[in-house]
Structure 1
Amino acid sequence: MTSIYVFPGQGSQHVGMGVDLFAKYRDVVSTADRVLGYSIVDLCLQNDGNRLDRTEYTQPALFVVSALSYMAKCDAGVEPDVAAGHSLGEYSALFAAGAFDFATGLSLVKKRGELMSGSAPGGMAAVIGLTEDEIMGILRVEGANEIDVANLNGPRQIVLAGPVDDLARCKGPFLAAKAKNFLPLRVSAAFHSRYMTGVADEFRTFLSKARMHTPKFPVISNVDAQPHEPEAIVEKLVAQIVSPVRWTDTIRRLMSLDNPRFEEVGPGKVLSGLIRQIRKTEQPLMGSFDDRGAA
């Protein structure tokens, strides 16, 4: 059996997350407060002014709670053979693998959230019920060249990013093509798209100062569904900001391992639902682990 931990990204946050962990890991919580400059406990449990749903706060909060959840697993004597994370969750997976320490990971996530929240206005929307090929065909017909694919969450659950008006214009054609739903997301920018290029460039400067270590087990990159190579972690994390989250291919890659057992570590069960859907309809993506020498 291959034990696989997956770590959630934005959208899994909720008031009260981490309540059973904060008292157990007081020293780590103190480190988080020092790095962030505010109380992580107050953010997660009180959520004054709905801060928890603002990107600059959501990302650090999810990283902290996911990291504490992983620590609890380790304290119980359970560690994975391989890990992956959805967007922000990739930082939790890299922390779990020892690519950087807790304070470093949190400082990276804090900066990432600040940069992304301050990026140019834009939007995102989930198209449910159509394949990527069907979606791309409709975008071509509509001349919607300003829209990018941002998240490939499942074979028929795909998130688009771009200008809000362009996204809204495509709702009718998607529904006419028998999409089950078209759901605008509550975000302020077009994440994982060309519109994040400035953010990625600025983040590279910050990220390049961080000390990285060789992961102790493979961590799958969102960018290409391949295991991270130690010397390329920084560039992959920079590329992640402007590239689609290839979650379907990530799970297909992990499905090729011996008797894979997935476990979501952190708040919520969003990824568990996506994984069930992918395993039900998709075939394993073979070869990559052996080819890259990781497993």
Structure 2
Amino acid sequence: MPRARGNDALMAGRLAILCPGQGAQHPAMFDMARLDPAASRLLEEWSADPALGATLHAGLGEERFTNRIAQPAIVAATLAMWHALQATIATPALVAGYSIGELSAYGVAGALAPADVVKLAIERARLMDACVTDGAEQGMVALSGMPSGSVDALLAGAGFYPAIVTGDDALVAGGPAAQRDALASAAITAGGHATVLPVAVASHTPLLADAVAPFAALLAEAHWRAPAFPVLSGISAESVFDARKALAELPRQIAEPIRWRECMDAITEAGVTVALELGPGAALSKMLQSRNPNIACRSVTEFRTLDGIRAWLQRQLD
């Protein structure tokens, strides 16, 4: 039988939960969570909510990659999966979220009610989209394998900013969409790799500075509780144990770079031996596995059933 949460202090110090950002959403991303009756009821409640239902339904269709739909849909999928698992797996040592996943992480840790987190994701996306008001479209490019010392000049030449540092020679950059193909070409010419991402806002860059204060105000109005376990801050890679620090740092990550490389190192330093990514997608578990092969990393998307996830976790944590 699956081991209940909190029954083993040693186990509780070894598991990390990873909450994904945008990019891997798909029409079936709620299906596995629906296999659990409680998670299925939660999704039905959200679907019946006028503030949530239409957005989540759109998240399964062609609009799922637009910022205003992607953010709440990914948060909902993440939290529904957590709702399906949380009562039957070990208490995590910590939870870390990538970009919008950091907001999901506070829902996983119980600091905010799940429905409130999804509604905040809707508002976060709205505020970010409002920063693109002059017709100058924004975009993001993932760079990797870059020669030492080459990145800063390439970004400056294209008007781009570091957005998410994902490795020693890898990062995601954000800037004007008109320059993203030129940046990608320049990176390849310099000897690196480049991928233009399906994102229409330059998240985690100064181009979104106008969204920070209004989102901070919305977070301050929300009902916060102490997290059941620490949440890693994306901009500092430090553990957050209370609402005060969350309210100070969570809004800022909209317009400041995410230090995901340091977050992965913090997971290692916390003594984590097992990491489960809640999905959709498996990018975070693959990045962490690559950076620290000693941590057993999987995504829920790699399993066919909830029982398969539980059995794998129990084997790894015993």
Q: Flag structure 2 segments of 5+ consecutive residues without an equivalent.
A: 1-10, 295-318
Q: How does 1:121-136 map to 2 (within 5 A)?
A: 121-130=137-146, 133-136=149-152
2:124/2:215 contact within 8 Å kept: yes
Would you say the 8 A contact 1:22–1:41 is kept in 2?
no
Inter-partner Cα distance in structure 1 for 2:80 and 2:248:
26
Q: Which of residues 79, 102, 116 is equivalent to 1:67?
A: 79
Q: Say if 1:7 and 1:92, in contact at 8 Å, map to a contact too.
A: yes
Per the alignment, in what secondary structure is the counterpart of residue 142 of structure 2?
A: strand
CA shift for structure 1 position 16: 0.8
**Whole-Å Cα distance in 2 between the matches of residues 131 and 245 of structure 1?**
21
Task: Map Cα deviations across residues 38-88 of structure 1 (whole Å, 9 max, x no partner).
Answer: 25664354x1xx121111111111111111111121132433121101111
Match of 1:62, as an amino acid? I
The 3 A distance-change label for structure 1 pair 252 and 91 is same
Q: 1:1-295 to 2 correspondence within 5 Å?
A: 2-22=14-34, 24=37, 25-33=39-47, 34=49, 36-39=51-54, 42-45=57-60, 47=61, 50-120=62-132, 121-130=137-146, 133-139=149-155, 142=157, 144=158, 146-179=159-192, 181-230=193-242, 231-279=244-292
Between stretches 272-281 and 78-87, larger displacement belongs to 272-281
In structure 2, the CA distance between the partners of 1:16 and 1:40, relative to structure 1 (3 Å rule), is farther
Q: 1:112 to 1:132 in 2, by over 3 A?
A: farther
Q: Please list the CA deviations of residues 247-275 of structure 1 after superposition, one character each: whole Å capped at 9, or x if unmatched.
A: 11100111112252111113221111111
Q: Distance in 2 between matches of 1:139 and 1:233?
A: 30
Q: Secondary structure at the match of 1:5?
A: strand
- The one-letter code of the counterpart of 2:262 is D
Query: CA offsets per residue over residues 201-243 of structure 1, 9 Å max, x none?
Result: 2212222211211111111011110011421212211101001
TM-score normalized with structure 1 length: 0.85
1:5/1:94 CA distance change after superposition, 3 Å? same
Q: What is residue 288 of structure 1 aligned with on the other side?
A: none
Using the alignment, how far apart are the partners of 1:91 and 1:35 within structure 2? Answer: 21
Code of the aligned partner of 1:36: A
- Closer/same/farther in 2, CA of residues 133 and 31 from structure 1, 3 Å limit: farther
TM-score w.r.t. length of structure 2 = 0.79
Residue segments in structure 1 that go unaligned for 5+ positions in a row? 282-295
* Sequence identity (%): 24
Structure 2: how far apart are the matches of 1:169 and 1:259? 40
Partner of 2:195, secondary structure, is: strand
Relative to 1, partners in 2 of residues 1:172 and 1:66: Cα closer, same or farther, differing over 3 Å?
closer
Cα distance per residue 1:99-155 (max 9 Å; x no partner) = 111121111111112222333131111112116743124445x4x5x3210011222
- CA-atom RMSD, angstroms? 2.3
Is the CA contact (8 Å cut-off) linking 1:66 and 1:92 kept in structure 2? yes
Match of 2:221, SS state, is coil
User: Is the Cα–Cα contact under 8 Å of residues 59 and 69 in structure 2 kept in the other structure?
Assistant: no
Q: Counterpart of 2:274 in 1: which secondary structure?
A: strand
Once the two structures are superposed, what CA deviation does each residue of 1:150-192 show, in whole Å capped at 9, x if it has no partner? Answer: 011222331111112343333343222211x222212222111
In the alignment, is the contact (CA less than 8 A) between 1:4 and 1:263 conserved in 2? Answer: yes
Counting matched residue pairs gives 274
